[in-house]
Structure 1
């Protein structure tokens, strides 16, 4: 089932590719040139848009609902057929373009690009579009029965909140990244900012959190900053909740304050003239007003204070940063192999046959 769920989760991205082909100039030109019924292509676009409007909700519900999972599988099949048909039309457009550019084009090249659409049959293409529209109609009629809602926003999957703890012996290939960010953290003048916000950006699972954990626990950081705090923010950007986590972390006490203003006033007093390092892990928020509310008490810290923000989103990084973002790259093959061996065999040396691979 996991493979099915992953496959369906990619459908929304694939649908954008199909829209791109529908909107393409080549497809539009060949529709006019071959005198195909343009309303069929427009109806196809509208039907696919209707499917897209409920796709986010369907992709969330498929995990627990077998009927929704089947519905998505049927939708995926018809979208793939529509894509194949658009590819055939594109192939015909390319053939016509090459024939028009050069009458001396070799027959071998023409035969190659014409396969499998050597004879472009207008009625056959229109018939295929009508069949796809009929199937889409049938699929879309089922969305209300399945309780699929329009306009549901896709949220990142929830995961267990991260902590600052890390097993350093199990981390490979990040020394250069660690040292590069440490250089930024230990400099009191980064870009002329009193308090620097350094985003670590990269795709999910690449190691942003692990890198931040390594830095957070380094001896250099412990000796350089008077105050440290770690907060896993995730997709639910809660200004009050994150402020409370930071306050409780630096005071080592439970906080019963329920008013944001009082809480931030108390945090401000703790930060005045203190050099701090905060790590905000897994940030998704793109609302600058919310970000500005969160960081308002941070401004009272001492010059040289730093905030590390880990995120998958360049948009988030550009919103929060006041220095250049640090883009985390994938590890080398050798380091990936060492990591695999560590997880697969622990402290036991793998046999020669495994090492030879």
Structure 2
């Protein structure tokens, strides 16, 4: 059966289809069957027997070792070799390759780089192992080049050079006519692929994700008509490297990112890519370069080009970045895209109107970023004068459905001109399942947020200086984050709130006022920055587990001498100038204490045994002189770090008896 897999497929079937048939046949005849039902279902008891039998029969063909070197005991029948690292230093020759000349697999597993000459080791491997089918040099550090002898591995099916520093590939790679998988993921120094890549007629999988310095594609990629996975395509200016080369690649699966779309000359050339016919693609990304010239003069051309790049209807994810048109083509937001779950629009600087997106019934994630011309997002299910995020209907029509029925995450980033966000009158007709809302870098946005978001769990508002809002009605809200906003004033806190992070004088002050009146019973994490008000320390909720205070010079939350029983993690940075003695006994269940730049702190005291204290970090406290006179009774303390406390006179007294579990000490 295995030998049949090496033969050309019959009856018009692909290799993948033949493989699925064999796998299903083997699974149906194996001992790996479950019996029972529900929670009592177990693997059949013969599993261990089959495993032992496979190990007994296959042991002489498969070898795995932690460290590969001359001393490795490997047999001459071994076909498959896996290892974690190579021995150091590399000798002139690996004797093991004399014993294993018929290796089919040379495979790295969680490879740990070692400081030796990779190129020398590579040459040794390639010169000895001529029968290889699978070769992996993944994560080989300092692997800059491949020797020309790579082209002699004519049986190779799988080549993985991911996460290496390789800069060039020899043209001899194109002699690997049987190569089916070529992985170059995160080769961030690679600038060029071999010109003769079209000779790899068996290639099915080419992964060049995060190969960011790649300048263009090889010519005539259209000849790789067996290609099923192409993660990345850069449109070149030359016709043999243009977007039409995608036209014959009708069997592409998974995700495809198309970059440098500014090199597409017109909509006819775009139509030759035949994106609509690629029905197996699930994720598509369209990207124009940031430095593309003629941002405005090419606006209509880009609109026509993007229109001709319309994808098939079963697409799940779409990203459009750097688009220069003034509006989007009709297919963006077309409700017939029933499977679309994620949509990202960014750096579309000429667009002043958003497409109608509210009827995408499966859309779960929507992110709109850096749309510098957008001023208004409209209401009333469509107004022609403004950016429209809701369905655009003709006058006199009505829309009775729910807008964004599946949307869970909504995010707006860096929208410098956005001023107004209108909301539909019927608050129950939109965002019924929205869980996450983030608005960041929108300095002109004013008004209020949507008032009715019943499923909302997280709100993040950052750098929106004009936005003054009340919290939406949301029974499920768990996290609230407000950073660098001058006008946001909190009027209430939901009882369900578990985590709050706020930055800014006025917002923090309003939080202090509210927390003194209505205390959230579920609040567990509090972090605030840049506040000049006094903190009502006696109002800390009993549920609080973590407290962070950053750049709040006037805060003194210890003046009430109240015990904070629940607090487990405390972080103070550039705050609490009035604090001179820190009483650890105030926090009987504290597990971690971090104090940084507390200018007047003189002493850390402890009058009670601190059973839960594990870590103490104290840095840049210039007046710190001592710890508790009687020592620091923390029997479970493991880490104690004290840095840049220039007046410290001694470490904690009786450390050998009071700190029996101390593992790390640095002063």
TM bucket normalised to smaller:
under 0.3
Return the TM-score normalized by structure 1.
Answer: 0.23
TM-score (structure 2 length as normaliser): 0.15
Larger relative strand fraction: 2
Q: Which has the higher contact order (CA 8 A, sep 6+)?
A: 1
Q: Which has the higher helix share?
A: 1
